Structure 1
Amino acid sequence: MNAPLTNNRFAQRCKQLLLGVSLVGLAFQASAQTQVSDAWVRATVAGQSSSGAFMTLTADSDSKLLNVQSPVAKVVQIHESSMKDDVMKMQQVDAVALPAGKPVSFDPHGYHIMLMSLTAQIKEGDKVPLTLTVEDAKGQKETIEVQAVAKALDTMDHSKMH
């Protein structure tokens, strides 16, 4: 049978409980270090082999986006568009810096995610799953699952860019 709790044992149990709650809070905090907002993917027409994904990322601490994966594309790359001598250029980048607390926009005219060798047409209203891998300055990696909504073709077509 359990002995009644003395004041000392009661205090020890309370400390253990508070420590456990604190550790759970820290674990939750560590897993929620990067926020994703306004995630969307450009809808495609039949036979189109690529599309772009766009969003805003805000990290709690200095971090970087390392990788993106999606089952809708055989190849997924992080790209950056830039204008040079009146020519729009697009190139793959290894990672994108996410400075602490500063929103980083992924849009058709800057950083964006290229979905290439699509497995099927992406139709307006579809939910496109994306898995982002973010690494903080300490080397800890975070995996973020995103459901990006497909929007109509009303901006630049990346399939024609080199």
Structure 2
Amino acid sequence: MKKISIKPLAAAFAVCALALFNQAAVAQDATLKIDEPWVRATVPNQHATGVFMRLTSSAAGRLVAVESDAAKHVEVHEMAMQDNVMKMRQVPGIDLPAGQAVELKPGGYHVMLIDLARQITPGDHIALTLVVEDAKQQQRRVPVDAIARPLNASAAPAADHAHKK
């Protein structure tokens, strides 16, 4: 009679379980649509830059934090008029109403990368993690890959990043 080792069976089971877990994690993140994530490139010795994107959540939620290894500090900010002067300030979060696009753009809500780890050049990929809280205050982490655009980039997508249908 042949001996059957249980180790290969256990390993196969673990691989299947991990695959199912990863599919569940992707399905959970499907509730947040992220369009055109980009970061403004920097010049040598520049210590901070902005990150921009459009977020559409299928369920009401709130962006409560952003994390990245590209900077020592990552903050959610808004630009607003105060005493006829445009000022930037940190905010504790941004509401994400169900089904409504929320723009993170120059001159409005955005993410600040402060104390950059290195210069960011056009075309660089910057890894971010959005921390989104749902109505039950359950948090989930959503990975984002933001592409660096030149310093003079506007909120419109770069010509080579246009989407074709």
Instruction: With the length of structure 1 as denominator, give the TM-score of the two structures.
Output: 0.76
For 2:43, the equivalent position in structure 1 comes to 45
For 1:14, the equivalent position in structure 2 comes to none
Residue pairs, 1:72-151, within 5 angstroms: 72-151=70-149
Root-mean-square deviation over aligned CA pairs: 2.0
Q: Following TM superposition, by how much is the alpha carbon of 1:138 offset from its aligned partner in structure 2, in angstroms?
A: 1.7
Aligned partner letter, 1:92: Q
For 2:61, the equivalent position in structure 1 comes to 63
Give the Cα–Cα distance (whole angstroms) in 2 for the partners of residues 117 and 97 of structure 1: 26
Q: Following TM superposition, by how much is the alpha carbon of 1:31 offset from its aligned partner in structure 2, in angstroms?
A: 3.4
**Contact 2:57-2:97 within 8 A present in 1 as well:** yes
1:10-52 C-alpha deviation (Å, 9 max, x unpaired): xxxxxxxxxxxxxx99876433211111000000000000000
Structure 1 spans left out of the alignment, 5+ residues: 1-23, 157-162
Q: Following TM superposition, by how much is the alpha carbon of 1:88 offset from its aligned partner in structure 2, in angstroms?
A: 1.0
Give the 3 Å change call, closer, same or farther, for CA 69–25 of structure 1 in structure 2: closer
Structure 2 spans left out of the alignment, 5+ residues: 1-21, 155-165
1:119-155 C-alpha deviation (Å, 9 max, x unpaired): 1000000000010010110222221111100000116
Moved more, 134-143 or 42-51: 134-143
Instruction: With the length of structure 2 as denominator, give the TM-score of the two structures.
Output: 0.75
**Contact 2:29-2:142 within 8 A present in 1 as well:** no
Give the 3 Å change call, closer, same or farther, for CA 31–151 of structure 1 in structure 2: closer
Aligned identity (percent) is 45
Give the Cα–Cα distance (whole angstroms) in 2 for the partners of residues 117 and 69 of structure 1: 13
Moved more, 143-152 or 24-33: 24-33
Aligned partner letter, 1:46: P
